[in-house]
Amino acid sequence: MDPLLLLLLLHGLLLLPLAALLLYRHSPPFQFLCKVAFFNCWIVALATLLSPVAALRGRSVENMRLLRAALLPLKHLYGIRMRVRDSELLRLPGPFVIVCNHQASLDLMGMVEVIPERCVPIAKRELLYLGTVGWACWLSGIIFIDRCRRDAAIEVIARTASAMRQENLSVWVFPEGTRNPGKSMLPFKRGAFHLAVQAQVPIVPIVISPYWDFFSPEEKRFTSGTCTIRVLPRVETLGLSPKDVPKLTESVRQAMAEALAEMSMSDHRDQDMEQPLLGPGEDRGSPQGQGDTARSRK
């Protein structure tokens, strides 16, 4: 090959990372894409690394510890400060059902912040087919439901209710049943509430504050920020029967909606942000940066 051409090619190769770095620092949409891609790559990479270790133990809720440890560093990488309020309400003697609002995949960061020992989430069946991610989830005892086959899902929930009592297992459910970046919560699916009633265990609602301050797929914005996770007082189900489920569902949703509305009003902007390890976070020095944040919250 012509040495001059080779030299040019080498220069080009060296300039490419530099150009990407510059773009990352100065283009919020490019930064957003990189950060979302990194989030997914992190999950795939850690699932690939940890699945063989988890496989040594076999399918067990104990593997949730590995999964949790794999996801906990993400908040530091992204500069997301997690504040947990009333976490002592999660210290219960027996098993319980956690119900939590579901905004985006980022909820995993909030989930691992507070998920108690011996607690598994209920997930859509599709996650099982995500290669090593599905394998890691299965090995951690995550419960899969097919949302398109109600009877089969109800059957899984009935088996889970027995397991909860027999194995002292708590379960984490996103009762909206799908991700909802909207400002209020979707109507709740009733499976989590049937589960709690069948197992005769308490329900602990958890509300994760909106991500608007630092994460918006529409605006392609992903900066550092603060996320508040609030644990609400438990709701007992002892003595309740299936006929009580609709009312129970509504009352829990109401309590969570009120907490979410309250959390949406509080301003996180003036709080200490953690500097993201993945490079520039919120530009707190610039009035434009603050204006954008304020505008997006309206």
Ligand X SMILES: CCCCCCCCCCCCCCC(=O)SCCNC(=O)CCNC(=O)[C@H](O)C(C)(C)COP(=O)(O)OP(=O)(O)OC[C@H]1O[C@@H](n2cnc3c(N)ncnc32)[C@H](O)[C@@H]1OP(=O)(O)O
Ligand Y SMILES: CCCCCCCC/C=C\CCCCCCCC(=O)OC[C@@H](O)COP(=O)(O)O
- Which residues bind to ligand Y, rule: CB under 6 A? 40, 43-44, 102, 105, 108, 124, 127, 130-131, 133, 174, 178-179
Q: Give the residue with the Cβ less far from ligand Y, 124 or 297.
A: 124
Partner whose binding site includes residue 141, from ligand X, ligand Y, none (CB under 5 to 8 Å by kind): none
Q: Return the exposure string of 59-79: e unless at least 16 CB atoms fall within 10 Å of the residue's CB, then b.
A: eebebbebbbebbeebbebbb
Give how far the C-alpha of residue 73 lies from the chain's centroid of Cα atoms, to the nearest Å.
Answer: 13
Contact of 145 with 157, CB cutoff 8 Å: yes
**Segment interacting with ligand X, rule: CB under 6 A, options 115-123, 163-171, 200-208, 288-296:** 115-123
253 touches ligand X by CB under 6 A: no
Quick one: 142 or 273, whose CB is closer to ligand Y?
A: 142
Residue 241's H or E segment, with its range, is none
> Nearer to ligand X by C-beta: 79 or 175?
175
Three-state secondary-structure class, residue 210: coil
Contact 170, 132 (CB under 8 A): no
In the bound complex, what is the minimum distance in angstroms from residue 107's beta carbon to ligand Y?
Answer: 6
Give the length of the chain: 298
Instruction: Give residue for tokens 């900066």.
Output: 223
Note whether 154 binds ligand X by CB under 6 A: yes
CB of 21 to ligand X, least distance (A): 27
For residue 130, the partner it binds in ligand X, ligand Y, none, with Cβ less than 5 to 8 A by kind, is: ligand Y
CB of 84 to ligand Y, least distance (A): 20
**Cβ count near 115 (within 10 Å):** 23
Question: From ligand Y, ligand X, none, which one binds at residue 114 (CB under 5 to 8 Å depending on kind)?
Answer: none
Q: Can residue 65 be called a binding residue for ligand X (CB under 6 A)?
A: no
- Considering the complex, what minimum distance in angstroms separates the CB of residue 295 from ligand X? 31
Say which residues have a Cβ less than 8 Å from residue 13's Cβ, sequence separation at least 6: none
Nearer to ligand X, 46 or 260 (CB): 46
Per CB under 6 A, which of residues 184..203 are in contact with ligand X? 189-192, 194
Binding residue for ligand X, selected from 61, 90, 98, 153, defined by CB under 6 A? 153
Q: How far is CA 176 from CA 24, 95, 100, 146, 187, in A?
A: 34, 22, 8, 15, 6
Q: Give least dist CB 89 to ligand Y, A.
A: 24
φ, ψ dihedrals at 118, nearest 5°: 50, 50
Distance CA 97, CA 108 (A): 17
Q: DSSP character for 86?
A: S
The CB density around residue 37, as the number of other CB atoms within 10 Å, is: 10
Q: Which stretches of the chain bind ligand X, using CB under 6 A? A: 43, 46-47, 50, 67, 70, 102, 108, 121-124, 133, 136-137, 142, 145, 147, 150, 153-154, 157, 173-175, 177, 189-192, 194, 245-246
